Amino acid sequence: MNKVKEKYLSFLNEKIEGYKRTVEAYKAEGRKDEAELERIKANLYELFKALFITDTKQLEGKDLSRYKDINLFADFLLRFDTIPANWKVFLEQAKENNDKVRQIIEETKLEIVMDLKEKLISMVNEELEVNV
């Protein structure tokens, strides 16, 4: 499972750097709104990277070979439910107020959270298949 941790952090770092490069490119082109949305994406990845590091720090020095399922990352997986709870409320408010910009931002945040969760689950499943 250490491989999963390393691969997931590498994935997060690549995405963060990619979004930051895109922000700079959009700024250079005068595309302020697009740059802001990409900055939000980078910030979300940075947030979940920090949470992943914090939540997996407790695993350091432990024998992870005995873990044969996703439960090793249970604390972190809870974050995919608790953190976006308010975003769902904000999305509904944006829809009610016909605030298209806020709606796009909240939808983007929710999509990213789902992608992050699916990526972690996929990586864990791949690792479990390799070790069967």
Extents of the domains making up the chain: 2-130
- Contacts of residue 11, defined as CB under 8 A and 6 or more positions apart, other chains included, come to 119, 123
* pLDDT given for residue 58 in this prediction: 79
Q: How is domain 2-130 classified at the CATH fold level? A: Ferritin (1.20.1260)
Lowest mean pLDDT among 23-27, 90-94, 105-109, 123-127: 123-127
| Tens-digit pLDDT profile for residues 77-89 | 999 999 999 999 9
* pLDDT given for residue 4 in this prediction: 87
Q: Write out the DSSP string of 41-86.
A: HHHHHHHHHHHHHHHHHTTTTS-GGG--SGGGGHHHHHHHHHTHHH
Lowest mean pLDDT among 21-25, 41-45, 110-114, 122-126: 122-126
